[in-house]
Amino acid sequence: MALHAKPIDRLIEALTKLPGIGRKTASRLAFHILRASPSEVQELARAISDVKEKIHLCSICFNLTDEDPCWICQDEHRSKEILCVVEGPNDLIAVENTGEYKGRYHVLHGTISPLEGVGPEDIKIKELMERLRKESVSEVIMATNPTVEGGATALYLTDLIRPLGVKVTRIAYGIPMGSEIEYADGMTISRALEGRREI
């Protein structure tokens, strides 16, 4: 016997698929949506479908964007000589929020992780190397996370990039080992950027 009417069950089922949402939270959210005004619910539904329809990857840096190239790649005031390599779009936002960095980015969309079956060809490494050959970059800052995978990816990239005569630096870690840039505060990231060292 179904406890709820079918559409409610369907919504709870869909919400359960979201990360960090268990059955209890899903059902709380579903009943919240049920009580909300029609316009609120329409806005939520539209926001969800818009994000899927309108957001894609920047063809240059692979940041998430609704225009191509993204606003950072379009900004002529930013240095084309420095490229900050990050694992994901949220890391880019964290570095950007410091307000200190005036170069450009390259978003890898992951790290090399043999245990999880992620190889160099699965993340945006080929695209990074193409950029470095085309653009006049003099320094690449490795801002991957201080995890085993983040470190291994930075080393792998350094071996590829150095022969091109481009300086490679790694951000200093006030950010504790094993933690993630995305969750570090702006001051810590600023210091980590300032204290970067050549590798």
Q: Closer CB to Zn ion, residue 57 or residue 152?
A: 57
| 73 contacts Zn ion (rule: CB under 5 A) | yes
Part in contact with Zn ion (CB under 5 A); list of ranges 43-51, 56-64, 165-173, 177-185? 56-64
Among 61, 92, 94, 107, binds Zn ion (CB under 5 A): 61
Yes or no: say if 104 and 77 are a contact pair by the CB < 8 Å rule. no
Question: Which residue intervals of the chain are DSSP H helices?
Answer: 6-16, 23-35, 38-54, 71-74, 89-97, 125-134, 148-161, 186-194
Part in contact with Zn ion (CB under 5 A); list of ranges 33-41, 57-65, 113-121, 138-146? 57-65
Yes or no: say if 124 and 181 are a contact pair by the CB < 8 Å rule. no
Part in contact with Zn ion (CB under 5 A); list of ranges 39-47, 65-73, 87-95, 178-186? 65-73
Q: Closer CB to Zn ion, residue 69 or residue 186?
A: 69
Part in contact with Zn ion (CB under 5 A); list of ranges 7-15, 53-61, 132-140, 160-168? 53-61
| 107 contacts Zn ion (rule: CB under 5 A) | no
Among 12, 26, 30, 60, binds Zn ion (CB under 5 A): 60
Cα within 13 Å of Cα(193), Cβ side: 27
| 92 contacts Zn ion (rule: CB under 5 A) | no
Question: Cα–Cα distances in Å, from 155 out to 81, 143, 151, 198?
Answer: 21, 12, 6, 12
Q: Closer CB to Zn ion, residue 74 or residue 138?
A: 74
**Cβ-based burial of 49 (10 A; exposed 0-12, middle 13-18, buried ≥19):** exposed
| φ, ψ for residue 145, nearest 5 deg | -65, 150
Among 27, 63, 144, 190, binds Zn ion (CB under 5 A): 63
How far apart CA 186 and CA 43 sit, in angstroms, is: 32
Nearest approach in angstroms of CB 151 to Zn ion is 25
Q: How many residues bind Zn ion (CB under 5 A)?
A: 7
Contact residues: Zn ion, CB under 5 A: 58, 60-61, 63, 69-70, 73
